[in-house]
Amino acid sequence: MTEQRVAVVTGASRGIGRAIATTLAASGLDVVVGYAGSRTAADEVAAEIIRSGGRAVIAQADVADEKAVAAMFDLAESTFGGVDVVVNSAGRMSLAPLAELDLAELDELHRTNIRGTFVVAREAARRLRDGGAIVTLSSSVLGLRLPTYSAYAASKGAVEAITLILARELRGRDITVNTVAPGPTATELFLDGKDEQTVDRMAKQPPLERLGTPADIARVVAFLAGPEGRWVNGQLLRANGGIV
């Protein structure tokens, strides 16, 4: 009998994280829907999964809080029996020219994006069953070097370093560790504060001439988390429609 696989997805109450949670559930995984603030939105994601015949529970956790993250994994183990897939989609974005960025914003950004990635990855490394998968979310903005993105890009550079080193540290456990770097994707986080002209310009950047969708990214993550992606390990996958 094949053991039921279980996924923990952070930042799963909206945007890309929500699409990842529902896509993994549709592929047969039980899902812990991790969220930071909006219980209502997390409840909606879990209800959607359950209506579709899957199993899901919600777990509130600040990803930078090691006790809260440990409790989220405890819930996965007590409810579903273990953890096989961990996707850290929780993230924060602050945009400003470097000379104008408030250092308090920098600290909060790095607390969520860097410390949060480290805390979730550390718990995953300690708890994942052999044969599992860890996926983190970076950003294609690292290669684009866009003005106002210095703090955010720096945090995502750290995410890539943490992820690709962890892949090598887990030698011998049959656990894959990869990071997905979306390009411009039509989410609330991405669209916030951008006028229509800016959005249109960014949509034309990739050769496919459109913004990505949360479903585009979720399908890539599901591939890496599933049996078809077992030979992909320690890699950075830029899911961005061909932006150089």
What DSSP state is assigned to residue 233?
-
Distance of CA 238 to the CA centre of its chain: 13
Give catalytic residue positions: 152
For 130, counting Cβ atoms within 10 Å of its Cβ (0-12 exposed, 13-18 middle, 19+ buried), the class is exposed
Closest residue by Cα to residue 56 from 34, 77, 30: 30
How does pLDDT run along the chain (244 residues), one tens digit per residue? Answer: 458 999 999 999 999 999 999 999 999 999 999 999 889 999 999 999 999 999 999 999 999 999 999 999 999 999 999 999 999 999 999 889 999 999 999 999 999 999 999 999 999 999 999 999 999 999 999 888 889 999 999 999 999 999 999 999 999 999 999 999 999 888 877 777 778 888 888 888 889 989 889 999 999 999 999 999 999 999 999 999 998 6
Enumerate the domain spans of the chain: 6-183+214-238
Query: Residue 87: enclosing H or E segment and its boundaries?
Result: strand 85-88
CATH superfamily of 6-183+214-238: NAD(P)-binding Rossmann-like Domain (3.40.50.720)
Q: With both helix axes pointing from N to C terminus, report the angle between 214-225 and 15-26 in degrees, rounded to the nearest 10.
A: 50
